[in-house]
Amino acid sequence: MNATTEEKMIVTLKTKVAVWNRWRKLSPSNPNISDTDLRGANLRGADLRGANLRYADLSCADLSCADLRGAILSYADLRGANLSCANLRGADLRGANLSGANLSHTNLRGADLSDTDLSGADLRGANLRGANLRGADLRYTILSGADLDFSCLDLSCKSLSALFDERHLIQFLYHVAIPTQNNSLNIKDKDLKKLLNMKSFQKVVNKFHRVEECGTFTGNKKEGFVVMTANSIE
């Protein structure tokens, strides 16, 4: 697009999302709207697949139900934006500022959220399966009901105040406990060994939602690792 056409399309995006979406269906190329001022814009349901929104100002914008699959949003300003129910599968959000944003029930599967600011963001029910959250600021981030399977998450001061739910806590306990199976780590701390061999602790750990696939935790004693199979379940 030349400058004039690009400017017209940005105006269309800001004011007539339905017209923008019709144009996207006819246009084979991904739009370059990087470093664009879209503050507070109503972009609900907008087709922004593969769009280059790098460094764009989308603070307080309404992007709910928008299609942002594969979009480039690195270093974008998304503070206070509404991204609820949006599709950001595979999107590049590296270094973006999403503090206070609404990302509830958003599809972020496989998205790159490394070094993003997610402090105070609402990610309830979000799909973060396989997402990269390395270096992300998760202070007071609401993650209850979010799918964190296969995601990369830092254990740092930036995640200490993140609001996880019981499912996540059990998931974390399982991942910490399993390597101690059969005393493979040669744990010396008596209190820790006692905890690992408590039936109540093992009961909680084995509530992990993928225990049938990954195996049952039987404690720190050398009693063998029980792998659940289809036959053993029957």
Q: Which of 164, 180, 199 finishes a domain?
A: 164
Q: Is 50 helix (H, G, I), strand (E, B) or coil?
A: coil
For the chain, the distance separating the N- and C-terminal CA atoms, rounded to the nearest angstrom, is 62
- Considering the chain, what is the average pLDDT of its residues? 92
**Overall domain count for the chain:** 2
Tens digit of each residue's pLDDT (9 = 90 or more) over 106-132: 999 999 999 999 999 999 999 999 999
d(CA 142, CA 138): 8
- Domain of residue 211 covers 168-233
Q: Look at residue 82 and tell me whether its pLDDT is greater than 90.
A: yes
147 and 226 co-located in one domain = no
Tens digit of each residue's pLDDT (9 = 90 or more) over 189-204: 999 999 999 999 999 9
Q: Which of 133, 164, 195 finishes a domain?
A: 164
| 8 A C-beta contact, residue 20 and residue 49 | no
155 and 183 co-located in one domain = no
Q: At what angle do helices 17-26 and 3-15 cross, to 10 degrees?
A: 130
186 and 205 co-located in one domain = yes
